[in-house]
Every structure is written in structure tokens, then in C-alpha cells.
């Protein structure tokens, strides 16, 4: 049985549900293969298979996306932050904290088709009756400032495949 499941988006995004998997989430673009393993992000050249960069020391980086122009990688933490990396210089650009009281767990971010916005799914526990509330946060991709938050149903929440 194939443990990898393709997730919709511009790039091929694969989720490996095997808890022993070394590469938990992989994004394959025209030029790169990017593996997120929780504690690290590794970028390889898709043609030569040469590893270009590995960034370590993170916690719970399991999903991400690449901008349509292949210049920026977003890596979403199972928690309260997302990280932006330059694929041109292979350096960390920015760490962004999610809105206070919200976190992102078992979900994945997406760039808009034109790359002008980044959509980050977040949730918040409300109470025993309502359970979790789900939102999509839209960030501009110039400064990664929050533009809006829209409540969505769980069915419209971009969660990991079960």
C-alpha cells in the first residue's frame, strides 16, 4: 500500500502518514524537492538530486507550500508560527506568529494562484458544545501581514488527509 497521498495545489505535495517516515511532507516543484521532517527543512535540486540546503533546529514543521514563482517556501509549524525561507538564497526570511489564541494543527498552508496572498488555516477550541472553530487567515506576501480571518467549516479546512 502506498502511504503517500497527493494534496491539491500548484505543486505536487505529498503527505506520508507513516509515523516512522523520515520525510513527513514533501513538496515537488519544477526545480526543487523540499522535505519537511518536523525538525528540519531540506531543499534538493529536482534534476541533479543534490541537496542544496538543510535548516535544522525547528519543532513540528510538518507542512508547507512554495510560491508560484518558486522564490519563497512557507513551512507551517504544528503550533503558533510559520516560517518563510528564500529559495534563491536558501536563507530564513521571517518567522510569523499566528493570531493570539489560535494555532495550526494538522493543516497545511497555500499560496494563492497569483502568489499575492498566503492562506494559513488556524483553529481555536471554543467549548465542549461547539468544540473547535476553524478559520482561514489571509496574509499579504509583501510583508506577511494578516489581511483577514474567515471562519470556515471543518470540511473547508485544509487538513492533513486521514
Say if residue 49 is exposed, middle or buried (CB neighbours under 10 Å; 0-12, 13-18, 19+): exposed
pLDDT at 2 over 60: no
pLDDT score of 9? 73
pLDDT at 159 over 90: no
Q: Which of 82, 53, 48 is nearest to 65 (CA)?
A: 82
Give the Cα separation of 66 and 12 in Å (integer): 10
Question: Could you report the per-residue pLDDT of 50-94, keeping only the tens digit for each?
Answer: 999 999 999 889 899 999 999 999 999 999 999 999 999 989 999
Give the Cα separation of 53 and 12 in Å (integer): 20
pLDDT band for position 1 (cuts 50, 70, 90): very low
Amino acid at each position: 500500500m502506498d502511504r503517500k497521498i497527493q494534496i491539491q495545489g500548484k505543486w505536487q505535495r505529498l503527505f506520508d502518514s507513516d509515523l516512522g517516515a523520515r520525510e513527513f511532507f514533501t513538496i515537488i516543484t519544477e526545480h526543487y524537492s523540499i522535505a519537511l521532517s518536523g525538525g528540519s527543512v531540506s531543499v534538493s535540486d529536482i534534476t541533479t538530486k543534490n541537496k542544496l540546503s538543510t535548516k535544522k533546529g525547528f519543532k513540528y514543521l510538518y507542512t508547507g507550500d512554495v510560491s508560484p514563482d518558486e522564490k519563497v517556501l512557507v513551512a507551517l509549524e504544528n503550533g503558533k508560527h510559520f516560517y518563510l525561507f528564500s529559495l534563491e538564497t536558501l536563507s530564513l526570511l521571517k518567522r510569523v506568529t499566528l493570531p493570539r489564541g489560535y494555532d495550526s494543527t494538522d493543516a497545511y498552508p497555500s499560496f494563492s494562484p497569483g502568489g499575492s496572498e498566503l492562506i494559513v488555516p488556524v483553529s481555536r477550541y471554543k467549548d465542549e458544545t461547539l468544540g473547535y472553530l476553524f478559520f482561514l487567515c489571509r496574509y499579504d506576501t509583501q510583508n506577511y501581514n494578516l489581511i483577514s480571518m474567515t471562519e470556515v467549516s471543518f470540511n473547508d479546512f485544509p487538513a492533513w488527509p486521514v
